[in-house]
Amino acid sequence: MFYREAGKFRTSYAQDAQIFPLGLDKVMVGALLVFAFLIVPNIASQYWLIALLIPWLIFSLVALGQNILTGYAGQLSLGSAGFMAVGAFACYNFLLRVDGMPFLAAVALSGVCAAAVGIVFGLPSLRIRGLYLAVATLASQFFIVWVLDKFGWFKNYDPSGVITAQPIVILGYLFDSAAEKYVLVAAIVGVLALAAKNMVRSNIGRSWMAVRDMDVAAEVIGFRPMPVKLLAFAISSFYCGVAGALFAFAYLGTVEPSAFNIDMSFRILFMIIIGGVASILGSFLGAAFILLLPIFLSVLFHTVFGNAVDASMLSATELIVFGALIIFFLIVEPHGLARLWQVTKEKLRLWPFPH
């Protein structure tokens, strides 16, 4: 009934290479975009925008970066939060030190800075693999935060070490309200997600996957592992850097090295594991799971039990339920939430007459 493919013929390469070949998908994605850009900013409350949607989009972007590196190129990394920190501080310093720096240019440049740092810390990946690489990338996490903490220049010698992000101004227009910031973040994330989708469908993505599946074989068929791996590090760090800048400017409003701790790197890695390794959609679903589910549980528990149950117990129970849900989903679908969606879609194709 849904997703009918009967009678749909592709007669050109362009049709063959579409992102959404099915008619229903196109309609749904279009509707989703209209909803996200036109309807949500108008109807969503302050709380939804600031506390849920903006951080979700930003973490989806980081998860995308992590997914490019870990999911597609197969390089296990634990430095994403560090690269976010590079992006956040780069953006702050570009805006502070360069007069008349346009905000979007600063964001792009902070991505470039993060990419450069990413390449440096990606170098060990040429020699070490798997878990050992993860440990090596831990160094980036600690080193970057240490450098930003240690040298006052990055923080403009602020005595407290927590600096206030500058206001976001694009072409003279001040992005001040929650809805404006949301639209800005959604636009950037949308463009970058589209770029990522196209990258993984193209030659670049195939080279990553070849290296991921077996780097010796990839070398034999003509991919040079060094540029391929470093490109994956660069692009992944670029995404993290842009997300870090947005995290500081559109979400927190402050820039502080200790906000980008190892805990955050782990959470980003969990996002793609829960959401789906090597899946664009999975990055969004995983970010939603790790970020929004605890909040949803907390709201649910507080509305259901309110002041009737001791608050300490309530907080602990939330954590227990969250942990149990992670285990539940990993057992039910080890390939992540994106795979669940895929299964659903396959079922819908046959519905209501499964064989």
Applying CB under 8 A, which residues contact other proteins?
Answer: 46-47, 50-52, 55, 146, 149, 159-162, 164, 251-254, 256, 258-259, 261, 295, 298-300, 302-304, 310-312, 314-316, 318-319, 328, 332-333, 340, 343-344, 347
Q: Name the residue nearer to other proteins (CB basis): 160 or 203.
A: 160
| Residue 32 CB neighbours (<10 A) | 10
Single out the residue of 270, 278, 262 nearest to residue 73, CA to CA.
278
Nearer to other proteins, 56 or 72 (CB): 56
**Measured from the CB atom, is 46 or 202 closer to other proteins?**
46
CA distance 294 to 322: 6
- From the CB of 323, what's the least distance to other proteins, in Å? 12
**Closest distance between other proteins and the C-beta of residue 196, in Å?**
24
Rounded Cα distance between 333 and 321, Å, is: 18
Letter for the amino acid at 324? A
DSSP string over 228-265:
HHHHHHHHHHHHHHHHHHHIIIIIISEE-GGGS-HHHH
Q: How far is the CB of 333 from other proteins (least distance, A)?
A: 6
Rounded to a whole number of angstroms, the minimum distance from the CB of residue 234 to other proteins is 27
18/344 with CB nearer other proteins: 344
Q: How far is the CB of 247 from other proteins (least distance, A)?
A: 9
Q: Which lies closer to other proteins via its Cβ, residue 72 or residue 260?
A: 260
Can you tell me the distance from the alpha carbon of 201 to that of 234, in angstroms, rounded to the nearest whole number? Answer: 18
**Closest of 62, 52, 56 to residue 85, by C-alpha:** 62
- Amino acid identity for residue 278 in this structure: A
Is the sign of the CA dihedral 313, 316, 322, 327 positive or negative? negative
Which residues are paired to 163 by β-bridges? 255
Nearer to other proteins, 206 or 349 (CB): 349
CA torsion angle 108 109 112 118 (round to 10): -110
Q: How far is the CB of 336 from other proteins (least distance, A)?
A: 12
